[in-house]
């Protein structure tokens, strides 16, 4: 028990050391440091006036409000701010008394400072929701819930301090995503299931399924001539400062691998746990019967997990599908679009990876179990 705990602790220390080392050597990308420092939180004290722009319709108005800066060097400053409303809810920020907003400060020629609205301030909401989520996990899950939180935190750290910085450095996205997913799988399953044949089988099954899903995505992505520019976010990467040369197809395939990680891990650990319980309840069960039981369990898990994966991707493209159907596009026109084919490939490649996780986990469990039995007999 002490040895297993030591191994896990060493893995955690190594992971945190790696994460912070990558963070230390990585230059900040995206927004400039000056722009980031000029972002402030503010509270709307009152609406001073609402002015309708002359020569426009009723939707084009300007709100003039009094705000109070809540943080850093301008904390406590009371000033005026304007918000232009055009009737487009995607861009309009409608001010109300007591509302919290995010503002940007700019120095003016006369030495004073002006503030401009950036967005609604949602930090407190996110923190509150996150706190509620953590409490639910701890209350319902207990110690296993705590382990799940630790593993989730490590995965997030890997993405923030390793995956994203390395991608911004221009490293191969497929290689990096495979390495990060492998490390995340190993750490997560060792923490949740411990160092045993169950977790080892699940690790092999997860990684095997991910690799197969990634290979399928790469092959068919090349055949379909997918560009990786299916989303507006991907196109905006062209305008990042620093002249970073991204492999956009690689980013697409990396996203597919990462997106399938959770489902493959879930299937593998569920199947490995079930096989462990079967073997413990019937130590004399033959290999053929154990394999048969594993596939029966895997088929039950497979049906719901594929639905989960496909529905998750479908939900992400719901607005896009509504647009195409609303404009009466034909099925042929729809399936020829880069964005639609990309999502289809995500769902199918992820599902194929999930499917292959089942036999890989079963046979990995059988091999590992047989070896452990031989050692005991010897």
The domain boundary residue, chosen from 121, 144, 175: 121
Q: How far apart are the first and last CA of the chain?
A: 23
What's the total number of domains in the chain?
2
Give domain status of residue 202, yes or no. yes
Give domain status of residue 258, yes or no. yes
What pLDDT sits at residue 241? 65
49 with 183, same domain: the answer is no
* Residue in 159, 265, 288, 292 with CA at minimum distance from that of residue 204: 265
What is the residue whose two structure tokens read 């191969």?
172
- The bridge status of strand 100-107 relative to strand 78-85 is unpaired
The number of beta carbons lying within 10 Å of the beta carbon of residue 315 is: 9
115 with 187, same domain: the answer is no
224 with 328, same domain: the answer is yes
Q: Region 263-269: what's the mean pLDDT?
A: 90
pTM over 0.95: no
Using the predicted structure, report yes or no on whether residue 189 has a pLDDT greater than 60.
yes
115 with 160, same domain: the answer is no
Query: Can you list the pairs that 322-330 forms with residues at least 24 positions away whose Cβ atoms lie under 8 Å?
Result: none
Residue 23 CB contacts under 8 Å (≥ 6 apart), including other chains = 161, 165
170 with 242, same domain: the answer is yes
* Residue in 202, 346, 186, 153 with CA at minimum distance from that of residue 260: 346
44 close to 67: Cβ distance less than 8 angstroms: yes
Using the predicted structure, report yes or no on whether residue 14 has a pLDDT greater than 80.
no
Mean pLDDT, the chain, as a whole number? 80
Query: CA-CA-CA-CA torsion for 291, 353, 179, 146, nearest 10 degrees?
Result: -70
Say how far apart CA 178 and CA 162 lie, in whole Å. 12
178-191 CB burial, b ≥16 within 10 A, e <16: bbbbbbbbbbbbbb
Model confidence pLDDT, tens digit, residues 81-118 = 888 888 777 778 888 898 898 988 887 777 778 888 88
209 with 72, same domain: the answer is no
Using the predicted structure, report yes or no on whether residue 260 has a pLDDT greater than 90.
no
More confident residue, 143 or 377: 143
Give domain status of residue 327, yes or no. yes
The beta strands (E) that lie in the chain are given as 39-52, 61-69, 78-85, 100-107, 113-120
Model confidence pLDDT, tens digit, residues 327-371 = 777 777 777 877 788 888 888 888 899 899 999 999 999 998 875
331 with 206, same domain: the answer is yes
277 with 352, same domain: the answer is yes
243 with 185, same domain: the answer is yes
Give domain status of residue 16, yes or no. no
233 with 163, same domain: the answer is yes
Say how far apart CA 332 and CA 170 lie, in whole Å. 36
CATH number of the domain encompassing residue 80: 2.40.50
Q: Region 155-166: what's the mean pLDDT?
A: 87
What pLDDT sits at residue 378? 44
103 with 232, same domain: the answer is no
More confident residue, 88 or 143: 143
Give domain status of residue 198, yes or no. yes
Residue 367 tokens, joined: 């091999």
Give domain status of residue 130, yes or no. no
Q: Region 283-298: what's the mean pLDDT?
A: 89
- Domain holding 59, by residue range, is 34-121
245 with 177, same domain: the answer is yes
């Amino acid at each position: 028990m002490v040895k297993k705990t030591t191994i896990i602790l060493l893995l955690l220390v190594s992971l945190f050391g790696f994460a912070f080392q990558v963070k230390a050597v990585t230059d900040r990308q995206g927004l400039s440091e000056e722009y980031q420092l000029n972002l402030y939180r503010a509270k709307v004290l009152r609406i001073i006036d609402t002015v309708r722009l002359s020569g426009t319709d009723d939707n084009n108005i300007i709100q003039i409000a009094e705000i109070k800066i809540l943080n850093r060097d301008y904390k406590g400053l009371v000033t005026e701010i304007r918000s232009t409303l055009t009737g487009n809810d995607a861009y309009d920020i409608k001010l109300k008394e007591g509302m919290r907003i995010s503002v940007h400060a700019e120095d003016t020629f006369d030495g004073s400072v002006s503030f401009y609205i950036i967005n609604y301030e949602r930090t407190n909401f996110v923190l509150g929701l996150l706190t509620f989520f953590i409490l639910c996990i701890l209350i319902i899950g207990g110690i296993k819930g705590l382990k799940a939180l630790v593993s989730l935190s490590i995965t997030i750290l890997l993405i923030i301090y390793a995956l994203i910085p390395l991608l911004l450095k221009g490293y191969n996205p497929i290689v990096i995503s495979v390495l990060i997913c492998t490390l995340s799988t190993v750490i997560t399953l060792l923490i949740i299931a411990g160092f045993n044949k169950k977790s080892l089988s699940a690790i092999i099954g997860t990684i095997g399924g991910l690799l197969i899903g990634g290979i399928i995505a790469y092959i068919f992505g090349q055949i379909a001539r997918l560009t990786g520019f299916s989303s507006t976010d991907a196109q905006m990467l062209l305008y990042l400062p620093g002249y970073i040369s991204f492999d956009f197809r690689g980013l697409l395939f990396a996203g597919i691998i990462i997106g399938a990680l959770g489902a493959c891990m879930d299937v593998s650990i569920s199947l490995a746990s079930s096989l462990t319980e079967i073997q413990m309840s019937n130590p004399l069960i033959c290999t053929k019967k154990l394999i048969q039981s594993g596939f029966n369990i895997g088929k039950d898990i497979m049906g719901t997990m594929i639905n989960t994966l496909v529905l998750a991707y479908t939900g992400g493209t719901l607005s896009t599908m509504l647009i195409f159907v609303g404009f009466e596009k034909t099925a042929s026109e729809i399936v020829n679009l880069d964005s639609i084919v990309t999502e289809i490939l995500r769902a199918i490649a992820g599902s194929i990876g999930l499917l292959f996780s089942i036999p890989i986990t079963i046979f990995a469990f059988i091999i590992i179990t047989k070896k452990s039995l031989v050692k005991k007999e010897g």
